[in-house]
């Protein structure tokens, strides 16, 4: 005993979608019961299995012919003879009669997945696009070629069915080769690509058509930020709009954040301001290689002020102001040394970050040796993201180490770790190799 409540299949439609076409009337039977009885009756054995059980539909409704009186219990059948004999007997003795009722379903009733199935030809239904990713108010999908003729209909359905979505785009296969952002086409909704996206308690604003963003990296962002100590200085070589920089700065780290894409640094600066970390972040817009070569001496010449604890929330700042007014002495006794040493380099440009590693050769060689020795008692860690086509972990390790060592011209074997970030394609994995910069490399004189 089952009702077919699927939407009508209407292939060959064109955008904009005519929602009124998606209507379905299902004639059923309803049994009248007094309100006092209905609770126990609906679950009773003789009729339990005959009651409708459709998602998002109530099985008990007020009786339209007696709104203040009886309730209608909606049944899965359209005629009495379709009921099991036991249920028929039960209804005869217990109910106040059976009446015909029509279930009216429309576009608003069905889910996005059901609707997408309904507009596709049969051959495409089995592998029809289901999920989508969200960046701010933008839902983005990656449609396979065979679904492109239906892209605007699919877009409209996703837009209609998800309240938080204001714009639906299809990510095209092409990616900006230099700045790594996706090309995309509008499928439905507002052509507004400036999003506000939240990650790790930080607010990020950016134009999704002009800068790189990948929500799938959020655990990698968190993982590395966890590695940093609050008093560390971080050099974020390919910072994008700040998913490492901002949470690290909120934690207390000072950050030198760099990106070659002027649109990235524009939004990075806005995000720094919006997240109230301007005092601990300096932004630059230069090639990663030049940044790596200059940043050590730049920080020695112009250090960050001493670490003064993690970024305070507005509430904490207000408390602090009140405390100062009442002249209670501060409890924080952090030593106040300016921060002039980089503890970590972050290099998230997996396609080519390894190619930039030779820039570390000799980065200390033009500095005052004594000063450098005093500051860099421990060498900075380098966290370099990369891709490999070697899927087997041991082969991936060999491949990555080989490429890294070739570039820096020195073994890293003794002091490194390798972390699998994610699989980006069936035969392509993204890794992060973390190693301490060998002094021989940093002091190398070419």
Ligand X SMILES: C[S@@+](CC[C@H](N)C(=O)[O-])C[C@H]1O[C@@H](n2cnc3c(N)ncnc32)[C@H](O)[C@@H]1O
What does the binding site for ligand X look like in residue numbers (CB under 6 A)?
A: 178-180, 212-214, 217, 238-240, 243-244, 259-261, 264, 287-288, 348-349
Nearest to ligand X of 157, 421 (CB atom): 421
Nearest to ligand X of 294, 439 (CB atom): 294
Q: Specify whether the CB–CB gap between 210 and 263 falls below 8 A.
A: yes
Contacts of residue 46, defined as CB under 8 A and 6 or more positions apart, other chains included, come to: 84, 86, 87, 89, 90
Least distance between ligand X and beta carbon 420 (Å)? 16
Nearest to ligand X of 101, 244 (CB atom): 244
A 10 A CB-CB count for 428 gives: 14
Report which DSSP code applies to 279. G
DSSP-assigned states of every residue in 184-253: EEEEEE----EEEEEETTEEEEEETTTS---GGGHHHHHHHHHHS-TT-EEEETT-TTSTTHHHHHHHT-
Q: Is 288 annotated as a binding residue?
A: yes
CA 12 to chain centre: 34
Report which DSSP code applies to 62. E
Q: Specify whether the CB–CB gap between 192 and 208 falls below 8 A.
A: no
Nearest to ligand X of 33, 213 (CB atom): 213
Peptide bond into 223 cis (omega under 30): no
Least distance between ligand X and beta carbon 260 (Å)? 4
Q: Is 162 annotated as a binding residue?
A: no
Least distance between ligand X and beta carbon 287 (Å)? 5
Nearest to ligand X of 228, 307 (CB atom): 228
**In whole angstroms, what is the distance from residue 122 CA to residue 32 CA?**
40
Least distance between ligand X and beta carbon 319 (Å)? 33
Helices 151-161 & 112-119, crossing angle to 10 degrees?
Answer: 160
Map residue 266 onto helix, strand or coil: helix
Least distance between ligand X and beta carbon 259 (Å)? 5
Nearest to ligand X of 219, 324 (CB atom): 219
Contacts of residue 360, defined as CB under 8 A and 6 or more positions apart, other chains included, come to: 292, 382, 408, 437, 441, 442
Q: Is 53 annotated as a binding residue?
A: no
**In whole angstroms, what is the distance from residue 374 CA to residue 223 CA?**
30
Nearest to ligand X of 151, 251 (CB atom): 251
Q: Which residues are annotated as a binding site for S-adenosyl-L-methionine?
A: 221, 259-260, 287-288, 348
């Amino acid at each position: 005993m089952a009702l077919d409540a699927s939407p009508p299949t209407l292939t060959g439609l064109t955008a904009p979608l005519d929602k009124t076409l998606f209507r379905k009337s299902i004639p059923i039977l309803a049994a009248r019961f007094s309100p006092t009885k209905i609770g126990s009756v609906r679950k009773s054995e003789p009729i339990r299995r005959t009651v409708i059980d459709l998602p998002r539909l109530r099985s008990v409704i007020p009786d339209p012919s007696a709104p203040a009186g009886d309730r209608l219990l909606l049944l899965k059948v359209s005629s009495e003879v379709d009921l099991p004999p036991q249920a028929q007997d039960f209804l005869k003795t217990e109910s106040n009669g059976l009446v015909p009722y029509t279930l009216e379903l429309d576009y608003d009733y069905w889910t996005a997945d059901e609707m997408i199935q309904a507009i596709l030809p049969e051959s495409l239904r089995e592998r029809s696009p289901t999920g989508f990713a969200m960046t701010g108010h933008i839902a983005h999908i990656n449609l396979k070629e065979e679904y492109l003729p239906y892209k605007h209909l699919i877009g409209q359905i996703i837009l209609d069915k998800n309240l938080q979505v204001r714009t639906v785009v299809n990510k095209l296969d092409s990616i900006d080769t230099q700045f790594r952002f996706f090309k995309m086409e509008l499928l439905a909704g507002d052509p507004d690509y400036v999003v506000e996206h939240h990650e790790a308690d930080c607010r990020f604003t950016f134009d999704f058509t002009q800068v790189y963003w990948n929500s799938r990296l959020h655990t990698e962002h968190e993982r590395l930020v966890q590695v940093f100590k609050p008093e560390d200085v971080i050099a974020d070589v390919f910072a994008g709009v700040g998913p490492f920089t901002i949470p690290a700065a909120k934690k207390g780290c000072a950050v030198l954040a760099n990106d070659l894409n002027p649109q990235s640094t524009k939004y990075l600066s806005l995000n720094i301001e919006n997240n109230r970390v301007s005092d601990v972040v300096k932004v630059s817009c230069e090639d990663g290689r030049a940044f790596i070569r200059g940043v050590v001496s730049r920080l020695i010449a112009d250090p960050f002020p001493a670490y003064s604890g993690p970024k305070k929330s507005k509430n904490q700042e207000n408390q602090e102001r009140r405390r100062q007014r009442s002249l209670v002495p501060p409890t924080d006794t952090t030593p106040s040394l300016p921060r002039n040493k980089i503890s970590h380099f972050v290099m998230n440009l997996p396609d080519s970050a390894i190619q930039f590693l030779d820039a570390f050769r000799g980065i200390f060689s033009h500095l005052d040796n004594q000063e450098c020795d005093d500051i860099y008692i421990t060498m900075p860690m380098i966290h370099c993201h990369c891709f490999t086509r070697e899927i087997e972990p041991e082969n991936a390790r060999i491949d990555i180490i080989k490429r890294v060592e070739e570039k820096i011209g020195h073994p890293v074997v003794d002091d490194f770790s390798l972390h699998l970030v994610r699989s980006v394609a069936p035969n392509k994995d993204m890794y992060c190799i973390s190693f301490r910069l060998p002094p021989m490399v940093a002091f190398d004189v070419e």
